[in-house]
Amino acid sequence: MIVGERKPLAEIAAMLAPFKKICVLGCGTCVTVCLSGGEKEAAETAAALSLLWQKEGKETEASTLTMLRQCEYEYIDDLAERLNEFDAVLSLACGVGVQTMTTRLQDKIVLPGLNTTFMGYPVEQGVWTENCLGCGNCVLDMTLGICPITRCSKSMLNGPCGGSQEGKCEISKDVDCAWQLIYDRLIKLDALERMETIQPPKDWSTSHHGGVRTTVREDVKLESSE
C-alpha cells in the first residue's frame, strides 16, 4: 500500500488561509488502511480545523466527503459536481490522488493534507515499513522475496557492503541489514547458490531515475492507437 502521514495542523491551516469553504476529502483505499486519510481522519481533520478557526474568529467552514479512490477518474467524476461547492479541496489522499484530482478537475484547487511517505506494509498495528521503491525491474526472485534495492541502505545487489554488525545495518542498530536477512533466508530455503550469480550493474532507467514512467497495455486499452 501507499503509506502517508497527515501534515501538521498548522501547516494545513496556513495553506487553507486564503479560502472560506473547504472540503476535507478522504480517500477510501491505502490511506484508509494506514489510518491517515480515510473517512474517520477526514472528520477528525475537519473538526480540528473548525475548532482552530473558531478560536481565531474566522468564518471558514470545513465539510467532509470521502471518495473510494482519488487516483481514478471514475470516482472523481462521481463527486465532481459536489466538489464545485467548495473554494478548495484538502485531499487526504497520497500524492498520486492529489495529482489525479488536479488533472481531472482543472478548475479546482486541490491541496495535499498528507505527506506521502512510501510503499510498504503494516508490520504490526501502528507500524508500517517501506519495502518497494518501484524500480521497474524486480529482483525478488534472486533473493527469494527480500528487496535489496529498498531494504539495503546502499541498494547493494551482490551481497553486503561490509558494514553490517550483528545483523544490523551500519546506518542504525534499529535497522536490519537486508543482506543478512537475504542470507538467512537463502540458507533456510537451501538456496544459497543464488548468491553465487554475479548481478550486473542495475539498469536504473526503468526506475524513477529514467524520468516519469508510463505503462501502456494495448491489450486492455478501450481504443487501439493503431
Q: Which residues bind ligand SF4 (CB under 6 A)?
A: 132-135, 138-140, 147, 149-150, 152-154, 156, 160-161, 163-164, 169-170, 177-179
Work out how close the CB of 134 gets to ligand SF4 at its nearest, in angstroms, rounded to a whole number: 6
Closer CB to ligand SF4, 133 or 195, in the complex: 133
Amino acid at 27: C
Distance CA 27, CA 90 (A): 11
Altogether, the residues listed in the chain come to a count of 226
Nearer to ligand SF4, 52 or 175 (CB): 175
Residue number, 83 or 152, with CB nearest to ligand SF4: 152
Q: Choose between 161 and 189: whose C-beta lies nearer to ligand SF4.
A: 161
CB of 29 to ligand SF4, least distance (A): 19
Give me the sheet containing 88-91, strands edge to edge. 61-67, 21-27, 88-91, 110-112
Please state the closest distance from residue 150 (CB atom) to ligand SF4, in A: 5
CA–CA separation, 74 vs 103, rounded Å? Answer: 13
The cell for 127 is 507500524
CB closer to ligand SF4 out of 54 and 137:
137
Helix (H) or strand (E) holding 105: none
Q: Cell digits for 140?
A: 525478488
Which of these, 20, 11, 34, 173, lies nearest to 94 by C-alpha position?
34
Smallest separation (angstroms) from ligand SF4 to the CB of 55? 45
Please state the closest distance from residue 139 (CB atom) to ligand SF4, in A: 5
Cell of 220: 486492455
Q: Which three cell numbers stand for residue 195?
A: 548468491
